[in-house]
Structure 1
Amino acid sequence: MAGVNKVILVGNLGKDPEVRHLEGGVSVAHFTLATNEYYKDKQGNRVERTEWHNISAWRGLADMADKYLKKGQQVYIEGKLRTRQYQDKDQQTRYITEIIADEISMLGGRPQGNGAAVAETAGAAVAEPQQSFRQEPELDQLPF
């Protein structure tokens, strides 16, 4: 039996997506997502813990993220974990674990940001029904 690599997150965007266009016209978007959890410490004080996640979206999902997603917006993300390595400017090997998004759904509520563009986007998001976008797997990713 094959393993399962599935991540489901609901959180708020930490920044607007940064989109790059690679060779062959392939788009990739990178952004961060904050998830919060709350608990009480030994003294009974409510403590908030924020976890930051690195998200990558490819092809059509990257274009959707570029067009619709803004800092502070609440989203639902389904995807898989992927760890990759790279060389930093000092030639040290670094590792980054990120979520490769397969599905992104914009959830209700106003983005938590400032500026007219964010406010206009927030109003449109509240007025329209929830939108979901899904990345279909490439042929070489299908289990045959």
Structure 2
Amino acid sequence: MSLPVLVAIVALGIALSVAAVHFTGGSKTATLAGTDQALSRFAEDFPDEVATVVRLTADARTAFLDIGRGRIGIVHSIGDCFLTRIVTPQDVAVLNAGDVNTVSFRLADFTWKGGRFRFASAADAQGVLEALELQHPNSAREAA
């Protein structure tokens, strides 16, 4: 078999594989339908935790849940699945408020680094920012 024919067959095979994954839902991004879905998804992984406040991002891909004792629960979409975490201010390596509706942070956790999150309201962004800040006056956060 000639090299050009072999290259064409391989390229076609790769293209068909990518198309098959895409059309079967492999490129779908999960979104949260509302606060109830965020609460139920978080409860699947952490059934003993009770959230008092739920804050959804503007794109409905992430929810931040106040769960008390200086901790915050996170439900974040990755692909068509949801990742859940319990985070404390000590877990946050970098915390920054981009504008009044945006919070960005980087976690010390190597499995998920955090990100930039935009909220529909400044109050939600401020609530998440306050929950993730250390309460010690001598603790400084590095700007992202």
Q: Higher strand share goes to which structure?
A: 1
TM-score, normalised on structure 2?
0.28
Bigger-Rg structure (1/2): 2
Q: Higher helix share goes to which structure?
A: 2
TM-score, normalised on structure 1?
0.28
Task: Select the structure with the greater relative contact order (CA < 8 A; seq sep ≥ 6).
Answer: 1
